[in-house]
Amino acid sequence: MDILWAENTSLTAREVGRLIADRDLAPTTVMTVLDRLTRKGFLHRTRDGRAWRYQPAESRDAYIAELMLEALDLTGDRSAALTRFAQAVSGPEAEILRRALTELEEE
């Protein structure tokens, strides 16, 4: 996913395999992983001749936000979890949250 998020275009399995510098993976292994990620909804794919081109279904930010919401669902007390989270963020991060909440209220 990191490789696909880093690119501004869709990639074939072969292109993804070439960009994975630290591992020597068989092209079929890369294809299998990309196909599984597609079935799980993380990727979209389109035909390009005989190959498939893959691109993320969502941005990294959207994916991380979804993970954060899923984590909140795991707690029995969302208010307590949100309060702890707010206490743990830095000053600049808290300001970003304040601005986002203000913008939501103004909509």
Options 3.40.50.12780, 3.40.640.10, 1.10.10.10, 1.25.40.80; CATH for 1-56 is: 1.10.10.10
- If phi > 0 it is left, if psi is from -120 to 50 it is alpha, else beta; for residue 10 that is beta
Which residues lie below 8 Å from residue 103, measured CB to CB, with a gap of 6+?
none
Question: Encoding tokens for residue 56?
Answer: 């993320």
Provide the residue ranges of all domains of the chain, joining segments of one domain with +: 1-56, 60-106
Sheet strands side by side (includes 51-56): 11-12, 51-56, 43-48
pTM, 2 dp: 0.76
Q: pLDDT (tens digit, 9 = 90+) per residue, 11-56?
A: 999 999 989 877 778 888 999 999 999 999 999 999 999 999 999 9
Q: Are 1 and 53 in contact (CB under 8 A)?
A: no
Structure tokens belonging to residue 86: 């707010």
